[in-house]
Structure 1
Amino acid sequence: MSLVNGLPAHVLLVHIVVVLVPLTALALVTGALWPRAARRLGILLPSLALVALASVPLTTQAGEWLERHVQSDALVRRHTELGDGLLPWALGLFVLAALVWWAARRGAVETGRAGGLRWSALPVRIIVAALSVAVAAGAVVDVYRIGDSGAKAAWHDSFSKTASGSDGGS
């Protein structure tokens, strides 16, 4: 995918990543720390993570096309390098989201009630919760760093720091 309605697909697809990765991270942490929330989220949790995961390589591929069609400089190269690092974070979000969903579903079936928990499962829940927080934080920070570098690459030297004089009467 290269162009959508005359615009580079990357500038459109990036909005999916910027919204879905942090949203998935938030849902994952909520579900990992609060099992009742994981049960309420249900299949939406891994589904959201799957869509976020699928959007990353689509956006990256569209970005590689765009990179070949803009003047290359250090800022564009930095953005490209950072963008290549998001896929492992998105994969981690998906794996953990599927695990949290499966555990919440299994826990509800095994206990037969909403709030039950076997004590032997507590260490596993703590590990999954800690991993979920770490991966979610890493994914969100990476999305921020990639977006910041992309904005710098797109906007450096593209505007005047002083008003052009046609400020619309303000």
Structure 2
Amino acid sequence: MFETINGMPAHVLLVHAAVVFVPLLALGAIVFAVWPAVRARIDWAVALLAVVAPLSALFSMISGNAFYEMRVADGTPEQFLDQIGEHASYGQRTFFFSLGLGLVTGALLLLRRRAGTPKAVTVGLSVVAVVLAVITGYFVVMTGDTGAAMNWKIS
């Protein structure tokens, strides 16, 4: 399922969803955490991104693993496989941090609506969300950079 789509490696198609949705989640989480005036207007979008972004990163990771296995099977040189491995390690971290960001953002969304939640809890979750958003953004950039560098060096 995650190997090819219409004869193309699925990874080169599925990765575009993660490239769009994960940074949007990071941006949405930061805005939601620090800008109270817009929370009510963006809460539904941030909630949707909290689910879609980690899923898109997961599908990219799974399809990337399938792509790697196809390269191993076709005898790709070890040097290139090492570059894929570096790219994959960034991709895995992108998935795990986006998952954490999605969960923290979801909790923040729920607790902001719940009456009686101590302010310290929501402030603490807001800080964690911003930190996770920055870290997730870093790993998205590094994943994309290592992937693009491989593509342009071998083309």
TM above 0.5? yes
Moved over 6 A (4+): none
* Deviation at residue 155 of structure 1 after TM alignment: 2.0
Distance 2:83 2:21 in 1: 25
Distance 1:30 1:148 in 2: 25
Tell me the matched-pair count: 147
Work out which of the residue numbers 127, 131, 139 in structure 2 matches 1:142: 139
RMSD of aligned residue pairs (Cα, Å): 1.8
Work out which of the residue numbers 133, 150, 154 in structure 2 matches 1:153: 150
* Deviation at residue 103 of structure 1 after TM alignment: 2.4
Structure 2: any 5+ residue segments left out of the alignment?
none
TM-score by length of 2: 0.85
Q: Deviations over 1:31-62 (max 9, x none)?
A: 11123322222333122110111112211111
Alignment of 1:87 with 2:87, yes or no, is no
Alignment of 1:41 with 2:38, yes or no, is no
TM-score by length of 1: 0.78
Q: Deviations over 1:96-117 (max 9, x none)?
A: 22122112322xxx4xxxxxxx
Task: Point out the structure with the larger helix share.
Answer: 2
Distance 2:84 2:107 in 1: 36
Contact 1:28 1:96 in 2 (8 A): no
Which secondary structure state, in structure 1, belongs to the residue aligned with residue 12 of structure 2? Answer: helix
Contact 1:35 1:104 in 2 (8 A): no
User: Relative to structure 2, which stretch is displaced further, 96-105 or 128-137?
Assistant: 96-105
* Deviation at residue 154 of structure 1 after TM alignment: 1.9
Taking every aligned residue pair, what percent have the same amino acid on both sides? 30
Structure 1: any 5+ residue segments left out of the alignment?
111-117, 159-170
What does 1:54-65 align with in structure 2 at a 5 Å threshold?
A: 54-65=55-66
Counterpart in the other structure of 1:67: 68
